[in-house]
Structure 1
């Protein structure tokens, strides 16, 4: 059985036996530190860990982490071995679809180029040994502003991408992979219930017509009240969507779970899994900012020769990258960075650091910061990882995952 389906089936069995529902916690591996912290938190909580990597983060071109799918799979294996983590690890593509990779949208790739690019990314993931692929062709940059992509086109492209993966892996005798479909993005997709129903029915028919009757996604992404700028999960909507997909054998997957105010409601509503990503970039930034305060104290005492200027370097690199513009609100369009309020600028820097962690200047400043603090008797890496782990722990607890490995 596919690893993800096996995990879901085991959780279902355990829920029936114990009466305690559970939701899988998925981490977006937007930095090396977040990946390390995820394994450490999973080991300490004695729970499975799921990585949902976007094509912006990890791809054939290295993404902003600098890692290809093969690199990330090797890294995950080595990190697990280094801390003797033996629980279940699921590695997945998140939001795999045309124009969801920023480069494709900025360079305005044609539909054929964008679809072919995604197919190459999927091939690399399958060859690397990924367990699941989120097929998400719900964005089309050529759809006129104010209009939403046709759900029939979304179905057609979903089937085209799944069919390509299935043909590619079967020709090479590679293990089967699991699938996730749909989106909750604010720019369209499956947010409307009628559209959601149409998508499921048409996808079922189209897969059968393509000779893929044995292939069906284990996750369908649902808009359950959360997005990048909101933090309240809607239990009522989640239950409605769960009731819609369970007859198909699927579970609802939540995205943008970052900082959600009521995470304990996820398992109670039957949510299969939930993704958390930018929150841990903010955790990493906050940890480095705290280290910089310690560094400044050591500088005053004369135990440090030169300041790293860590947060200043990060802010400048985020500004220069221009990627902060992607997250501007509609009313902020056209504004320059300095025209935004101080709180808004700080949010954009904190969430935007994931794009520039691997820049040489960021790495150099971080090396200097950590070296300064090590000389002063601190363990800076432990402090950074510990901060990220602390913020991950609440999800392991809220999703009822602590000690789940003992029951699997």
Structure 2
């Protein structure tokens, strides 16, 4: 069997080496390309996870099944010359998340099929997340219900693993204090970290549920538990990590043989905050919307540059206007998130940290507009002063000969700017790379 690189990193962390790994939760090709290029520069692993919203057995909002997403990621890795054995694929929030409006009797069989599809496709990091209430469930769910449902999914995952050609054993992630996928809906106030007592109760509930479900041996494959370090973001605010506030939580896993913490919603944290998280035993740091937020910044910057350089208005992509029109004509992915006046909603659609634009980037009209913009910029060339005005960090790298001043390369590097703090925090390479 192949080297289990993820478990090696987590074992080093448990030994006090002070390393971690960041998990890229995105399905956008430019984000995946940027992540793989960053891993190439750092000579590191790359951990890429699909969420249950993005990718499921029916296609998710990306239109991709787990097999499709696997082939999509590995195809980009091949194109970049990145070894496949350094790509770790994971499934995030696998459970009834997509079917919360249905009863558990309907939602859980779909969740079982979801987990089965991911494992059969070769994903070796599986987050079993049954923390959300379905129709008719109590709110919130008890640890016992969450654990019982997670054990039910564990049975399916282990059965699927028995027939799948997996390169390494599955590393499972559990946890009942799971932030909402993609950031908070509401304006946030003060957050309270998970207590050490809650961690112990969650572990005990899952061990008991696994025993009852007949998958006691699978406990040895549980690598991490999701707990709340009191980090989150809403539309306009980021709640920063404060190490001094977590108290005994940092020692809650001291009596566990191999478990580490996994942190969700770490987007927009500073590198020093991320480093503190790693040192406080959050060995896995999840990032998603922060990467497409950076991509959106790059796209809007290039759209502004295009408006200056392409004199004939009929030849411009009008990318920002296209995005706005598509979002207002199909408001399903943002209207439950952005409140206020029409103007306030417009500002939020374009600039919110929660980055609901990411759901629209696969739209055919938007893809066509992006392609046209990049083609226009390739044709006219981008002068240095305009790069300096709109993408100053990229301008520095262009001047130093590290970066080609094409639209595509500028976008990829802008996304890498959002990854570089994670590189430094996890001790994986140089945050300058």
Q: Does 1:48 align with 2:42?
A: no
Identify which of 218, 225, 228 aligns with 1:220: 225
Q: Does 1:38 align with 2:35?
A: yes
Identify which of 195, 202, 206 aligns with 1:199: 202
Q: Does 1:95 align with 2:99?
A: no
Q: Does 1:123 align with 2:120?
A: no
Identify which of 386, 389, 406 aligns with 2:416: 389
SS at match of 1:220: strand
* Aligned residues of 1:30 and 1:281 also touching (Cα < 8 A): no
SS at match of 2:135: coil
Name the counterpart of 1:185. Answer: 179
Q: Does 1:354 align with 2:358?
A: yes
Q: CA deviation at 1:370?
A: 1.3
Q: CA deviation at 1:67?
A: 1.9
Q: CA deviation at 1:65?
A: 2.3
CA distance in 2, matches of 1:51, 1:323: 23
Change (3 A) 1:33 1:269: same
* 1:273-308 C-alpha deviation (Å, 9 max, x unpaired): 0100001111111111111111111123x5x75221
* Aligned residues of 1:42 and 1:48 also touching (Cα < 8 A): yes
- Tell me: higher relative CO, structure 1 or 2? Use CA pairs within 8 A at least 6 residues apart: 1
* Aligned residues of 2:9 and 2:19 also touching (Cα < 8 A): no
SS at match of 2:218: coil
Q: CA deviation at 1:316?
A: 2.5
Q: Does 1:26 align with 2:23?
A: yes
Match runs of 1:233-382 below 5 Å: 233-236=241-244, 240-248=248-256, 249-261=258-270, 262-300=273-311, 302=312, 306-319=315-328, 320-328=330-338, 332=339, 335=340, 338=342, 340=344, 343-348=347-352, 351-378=355-382, 379-382=406-409
Identify which of 165, 176, 187 aligns with 2:157: 165
CA distance in 2, matches of 1:84, 1:115: 39
* 1:193-231 C-alpha deviation (Å, 9 max, x unpaired): 544322211211221233322212201001001123333
Change (3 A) 1:113 1:268: same
Gaps of 5+ in 1: none
* Aligned residues of 1:45 and 1:403 also touching (Cα < 8 A): yes
RMSD (Å) for aligned C-alpha atoms: 2.9
CA distance in 2, matches of 1:351, 1:210: 39
Name the counterpart of 2:389. Answer: none
SS at match of 1:295: helix
Change (3 A) 1:271 1:239: farther
Gaps of 5+ in 2: 185-190, 383-405
CA distance in 2, matches of 1:391, 1:308: 26
Q: CA deviation at 1:396?
A: 0.5
CA distance in 2, matches of 1:74, 1:173: 15
Q: CA deviation at 1:61?
A: 2.1
Match runs of 1:137-176 below 5 Å: 137-142=130-135, 147-170=139-162, 176=169
Q: CA deviation at 1:246?
A: 4.3
Structure 2 length normalisation: TM-score?
A: 0.81
CA distance in 2, matches of 1:310, 1:349: 20
Q: CA deviation at 1:166?
A: 1.1
* 1:313-347 C-alpha deviation (Å, 9 max, x unpaired): 1122233232113434xxx4xx5x61636643433
Change (3 A) 1:401 1:239: farther
Structure 1 length normalisation: TM-score?
A: 0.86
SS at match of 1:370: helix
Name the counterpart of 2:401. Answer: none
* Aligned residues of 1:231 and 1:259 also touching (Cα < 8 A): no
CA distance in 2, matches of 1:365, 1:113: 40
Q: CA deviation at 1:135?
A: 0.5
* Residue correspondences, number: 387
* Aligned residues of 1:52 and 1:93 also touching (Cα < 8 A): yes
